[in-house]
Structure 1
Amino acid sequence: MIQSPTLAALVVTMNRPDQIRQTVARLRSEGADYLVIVDNGSDADTRDWLRSLEDDQTRILLTDRNLGGAGGFARALTEAREAFDPDWYLLMDDDARPDPGALAAFRAMDKTGWDALAAAAYYPDGTICEMNRPLVNRLSGPGFIPTHLTPEDYASPYTRPVAASSFVGLFLTRTAVRTIGLPDPDLFLYMEDGLYTLALTRAGLRLGFAPKLRFTHDCQTLATRTSGFRPVWKAYYYHRNLLIFYRRAMGPLVWPTLAYLIPRWLMKTRDQKGEARAFLRYLARAIRDGLRGRTGTGPVENGEV
């Protein structure tokens, strides 16, 4: 009898008790073998509840400061590897969870030849979650112009190769983590997943998009593009890391792309009600640091420039 591969689910959370409760309940009902949760500084009641979950198959890591998504997932992968050494790791935000039957579908599918698998993430209303759409290369020759998968790709029954994806429903083999290592904690927030999975495929590992593995991402605050960044300092990380991703993905092709991107980024100023000047300061610093490839966290995390 072939033994089912072991699976460790990894979640990063911060001050969203209703969401993390739902996600933990779903992961346990779906039969994840192990669970690792990194808490980035939730209130005392949430941390007390998280502590109550710990057992032989569950690890709770309570950080003394906010590590962001990048640092949180780096900690979670380290802990899962040392404590459980599973065959597969599954990454997700606290407001994202597998649909009923998704983990059973993962265990049943033929995973031969795949080093990582990206799930299909949807909003609660059933529409495709835009921020989690995997990327493919638009060019057939040298170079790389990233473009998102289409609705037709989501409707397909087949797993197809992709170049990069998000951490919402990302399944990683033990081999992938050993080869690529950990997400860069200095990215702090946003695009750490795109950069990590791009490094994975650039190393020759195979990342597949599996439409049958469905996730729901209940990210209501980011479901629209008109609310602006709250708090505004997040704009720095978003644009800096996105620019770093484009530079690594596209190489010299990034320069004409910037002529299109930067005016679009400037248009976001109108969404920052009462904080337009601060947004422009963060955007200017993001472009400067992104072009230099400069990462790290520090004063910007606290809302200063």
Structure 2
Amino acid sequence: MNATVCAIVVTYNRSELLKKCLSAIKNQSVGVTHIVVIDNHSTDATETIMKSMASDQVLYNRLDDNYGGAGGFKRGISYALDNTHDQYFWIMDDDTMPTSTALENLLHATLSLSDFGFLTANTHWKDCTPMNVPPIAQNWSVAADKGLIRVQEATFVSLFVERKKVEKVGLPFEEFFIWHDDTEFTTRLSKLAPGYFVTKALVVHESAGNNAPLIYTDSSNRISRYYYLYRNEMYICKKHKGSAVTLMTFLRDLFVGIKVLIVAPDHRAKRSFTVLKGTFSGLVFRPRG
């Protein structure tokens, strides 16, 4: 395979995971051309480690502040566009550990498809249970005999995209800060061509847990983060999914805002206000391209 690939890794204060991630990328059965590491202004040993690793292949860019996952991925993809000529971008968090043949299988999938908007890996948690499973598309089985499942969207846990597709749709929206920046970005990509889940491209996501956090039970110091979740999801519905889905999502969020007042163990008013503030903000949210 003669394709050139730039791996893009966004990191923040997880230097040990980052080292493991970079080792996994370097030990692929098919080599990457470049590795771009975007450091969201870490305060641990990340800067020291990366400065010792920087080379013509490993490109390190330390940001002047923490711009969240969305800002980090936007800057990482932009940096790769400006500083490499690679054909493909392989995008991931620092807690993504690709198995040795993950990239090989992603590249093999490109040979089986006449066109694609994005590819996403088969992601497992540390105990081998599935996670980050994308929602399947209506005609999901069109390439199933090739080990490819058509999907609607995906996350930045091992996302594989063509440079030319990114140049057409633009970058992720930094204003999303956290949550759903990746699903919005891949929704845009899927409008150019279908996205696919590559069953043989295995990666391990070494996140803290395999359950999505919930505003009902998450710790009190994380409540404010949920503003972005509800705002960004409402924007995606309004922008990409039509009025019926937008209305159903709006009504669901109103229900959540009421339910937390009844079932949350603490900070009920704050949790409810966060849900409702995010939901109503999403109706008028206009991220800059």
How high is the TM-score relative to the length of structure 1? 0.82
Query: Against the structure 1 CA distance between its residues 200 and 224, is the aligned structure 2 distance closer, same or farther, given a 3 Å change threshold?
Result: closer
1:164 and 2:158 correspond: no
2-structure distance, mates of 1:180, 1:10: 18
Question: Closer, same or farther in 2 for the Cα pair 1:283/1:56, shift >3 Å?
Answer: same
Q: Is the 8 A contact 2:54 2:60 kept in 1?
A: yes
Distance of 2:113 and 2:137 partners within structure 1: 23
Structure 1 window deviating more from structure 2 (110-119 vs 207-216): it is 110-119
The alpha carbon displacement at 1:266 in A equals: 4.7
Residue 21 of structure 1 aligns with an amino acid whose one-letter code is K
- How many Å separate the matches in 2 of 1:72 and 1:270? 37
Q: How does 1:1-305 map to 2 (within 5 A)?
A: 3-30=1-28, 31-109=31-109, 110-115=111-116, 116-129=118-131, 132-137=132-137, 158-202=147-191, 204-221=192-209, 223=211, 225=213, 227-228=217-218, 230-253=221-244, 254-264=246-256, 266-268=258-260, 274-295=266-287
In structure 2, what residue type is equivalent to 1:46? Answer: T
TM-aligned CA distance change 1:269 to 1:41, over 3 Å: farther
Q: Which amino acid aligns with 2:247?
A: W
CA distance in 2, matches of 1:183, 1:273: 35
SS at match of 1:10: strand
C-alpha contact 1:289 1:295 (8 A) present in aligned 2: no
Query: How has the CA–CA distance of structure 1 residues 125 and 185 changed in structure 2, closer, same or farther, with 3 Å as cutoff?
Result: same
Q: Distance in 2 between matches of 1:266 and 1:15?
A: 36
- Retained in 1: the 8 A contact 2:119–2:196? yes
Query: What per-residue deviation string (whole Å, max 9, x for no partner) do you get for residues 234-287 of structure 1?
Result: 111111111212222321112134323432455456786543333223222201
- Aligned pairs, number: 279
Are 1:228 and 1:271, in contact at CA under 8 Å, matched by a contact in 2? no
Q: Go from structure 1 to structure 2 and tell me whether the alpha carbon gap of 1:267 and 1:14 turns closer, same or farther (over 3 Å shift).
A: farther
Alignment partners' CA distance in 1, 2:204 and 2:258: 31
SS class of match (2:188): helix
1:26–1:98 Cα contact (<8 Å) kept: yes
Tell me the CA shift for residue 111 of structure 1: 4.4
Compute the displacement of 1:36 (Å): 0.6
Question: Relative to 1, partners in 2 of residues 1:85 and 1:223: Cα closer, same or farther, differing over 3 Å?
Answer: same
Seq. identity, %: 24
Question: 1: CA distance between counterparts of 2:172 and 2:196?
Answer: 19
Structure 2: segments with no counterpart, 5+ residues: none
Q: Note the alpha carbon deviations across 1:16-60, whole angstroms, 9 max, x for none.
A: 122111101111111322101111121152211122121001111
Q: CA RMSD in A?
A: 2.6
Give the unaligned 5+ runs of structure 1: 141-148, 297-305
